[in-house]
Chain A
Amino acid sequence: MKILLLEDDFKLSSEIKVFLQEKHFDCDAVYDGNLFLRQFANAAYDLFILDINVPGVNGLEVCSLIRQSDKATPIIMLTAFGQIEDKVEAFNNGADDYLVKPFHFDELYIRINSLMRRNQNPQQSDEIITIEDLQINISDLKVTRGGTEIYLTPKEYQLLLLLAKSKGKPVSKQSISDIVWDLNFETGTNTIEVYINFLRKKIDKNFDVKLIHTRPGFGYYLKSEE
């Protein structure tokens, strides 16, 4: 497993390198953007770690240059705290993940592993749940109804997915609270109703066939009308 690291601070670079080598990664480190691009052209790597503020070509430009020829290899950007705009730009330039300095090495390790895993089996079968004209695409998190895309917040999406996966059986408020929210998180029953309402507004409001139903005493379920 080969990693190419772009970091202009010599000490930081060597610390990261020491850590990665300890975790049995093969790590090359370069200190400026031009050197990085030369190295990128000469050898094959499994992952790139890029600092943004480096001499020569900066990290964001390096990132988009990599993406012109290589769409697959994971890229982790290192950003300085407070540069919130950088994060957005990092993703726009094709980065897969970012870490805010100072980060914990264990965190870096977890991110590398998860990206590697994702990269090893990239072609997940496109799983789509279809109920009437409602489609939930699990791989790209897109929801459409009657062909138009419906924008859901993460919680709304998780709630819809939970209802869809239970295949018409009612899901109790307690289960919704436990599954959609964290374990440390307790929601009042009123809150679940609010989210069901949010979902109804987005999924059912503009359509004649209502999909979200309530079975009093049992919970909610997703089904075309009987």
Chain B
Amino acid sequence: MISLKQRFTINFSILLSVILAVVLTMIYSIFSQYRRTEFKLRLEEKALSTSALLADLNVSKQDALEILDQNSVDKLYNNRIVVFDNDLNLIYSSVSGATQIPSEEDLQILKTKGSFFFSDNKIGRYGMARKLQANKVLYVLVTAEDKSGQRLLWFLGYLLLGAFIVGTGSVIILARSLSGRILLPLKQIQERITNISEKRLHIRLEEKRNNDEMDKLARAFNDMMDRIDSSYKQQKEFTDNASHELRTPVTRIIMQIQNLISLEPHSDKTKQYLNSMMMDSNQIADTISSLLILSRIDSGKISEFFPPCRLDEIIFDATQFISKAYPDVRILFNIENHSENDIDIEVKGDSNLLKIVFINLFKNAYLYSSDKLINVSLIQEKEDLKVVITNNGEVISPDDRENLFKAFARGKNSKNIQGTGLGLRITERILNHHNAQIKYEALNDNLNSFTVLFKF
């Protein structure tokens, strides 16, 4: 997986270095062309000056020529000059040069064309036919090595190669930093978006108002978040409003049944029906209340800043509630300190909400127990505070464990037990809201355990 930044860096670097390479190669080849031309001009000059001298002297005064040759300021390296007359008789040849004598072929070309210039990488050969009088022609041939031109060309070559390496290197660095800078807003956007969750829909991207592509993206994203946020709120408010609206008639029904039971004489059968209706209505009321709590937590109507409260007192409040509802319950309570610190069982939380958590867990432990005994341990460990609630009874099947904390999920073991299927859902939501966790374990075939974990 290649990132956008890497791709940008690679593409940009390749493009720029190719352009650089082309430019540098052009410079090299133009200079090489220039060297050739320059070399030819020097050879030509040499030929001209030699032939002029020969023409003036009109005889071969080799010594003079050689002196002249050797003292020439514009010295051609390793040069050799040969001069022929009309009939291709050698009339002059410098001796110092080691380069080969021009061939017959060269002379033929000279005769027909008047002049030639050949040059390979090292050696250049120049020939010209110089007309002195009407019937007198001198054929001058100069061969030499272009040592200084060659050196310049080498030097330029290395210079350009160095320039290419340095250039490409800086292009890569430039491309990296440039792409980093261009993509920085994208990285910031990504970091912000990662923070968006169900509970934190208020997060918006920063709008720079400079109308560039990033800004447009940010604005489009923010618009989208506004729409999601508002539809989410509507949904939450709907649950909230619906629950409120449902509660009043349920309250009415319950109160009317209560009065009906206690104020009028009834047959046993009617009383039975009324009691059953009462129980069902109470369950509806429970469900509605639970939905309300959920929607309140979800819609952030419950504060996230909690005062410190004593976990033991919350547990005691909850056990008191359970003892009232189920007089035959027995609760075994223990505090253990497994840390090296002084015992400190304070947590930051909403005591009313946490009470609901423990009421739900104790209620479940009681209803699903075989012996009506609940074991509650408050354990302080090095980095967390744990409440472990265990009860004897049929354990939750592995299939059901996955759905344990989902709304309206009820396990196979709940056939004859009344419940809304919302208790554990609410429990989990409240605990999440407190940054606490809950987990279930079957300690053996007949021992259920729920652990609530508060981090210090």
Contact = CB atoms under 8 A, between A and B. Distances in A.
Contacts, number: 105
Interface stretch (B21-29, B144-152, B312-320): B312-320
Most chain B beta-carbon neighbours within 10 Å: one of A153, A154, A185: A185
B369 to A, nearest CB: 13
Contacts of A153: 310, 312-313
B254 A102 contact: yes
B250 interface: yes
B149 to A, nearest CB: 95
A84 to B, nearest CB: 5
Given A15-B252, A155-B312, A182-B319, A102 B262 contact: no
Contact of B333 (A9, A11, A81, A188): A188
B335 A194 contact: yes
Interface in B233-249: 243-244, 247-248
B352 A15 contact: no
A9 B258 contact: no
A190 B247 contact: no
A84 B323 CA distance: 22
Contacts of A12: 248, 251-252, 255
B39 to A, nearest CB: 99
Interface in A173-226: 181-188, 190-191, 194, 197-198, 201
A105 B336 contact: no
B260 to A, nearest CB: 10
A81 B252 contact: no
B333 A187 contact: yes
A157 to B, nearest CB: 11
A70 interface: no
Interface in B260-274: 262-263
Interface in B322-346: 323, 327, 329-337, 342-343
A81 B247 contact: yes
Interface residues of B, number: 45
B428 interface: no
A81 B337 CA distance: 36
B382 to A, nearest CB: 18
B259 interface: yes
A213 to B, nearest CB: 20
Contacts of B334: 187-188, 190-191
A154 B316 contact: yes
A154 B252 CA distance: 36
B285 interface: yes
A153 B313 CA distance: 7
23 contacts: A9-B251, A12-B251, A12-B252, A12-B255, A16-B255, A19-B255, A22-B259, A80-B247, A81-B285, A82-B289, A82-B293, A84-B352, A102-B251, A105-B258, A154-B316, A155-B313, A181-B333, A184-B319, A184-B327, A184-B330, A186-B332, A188-B332, A190-B335
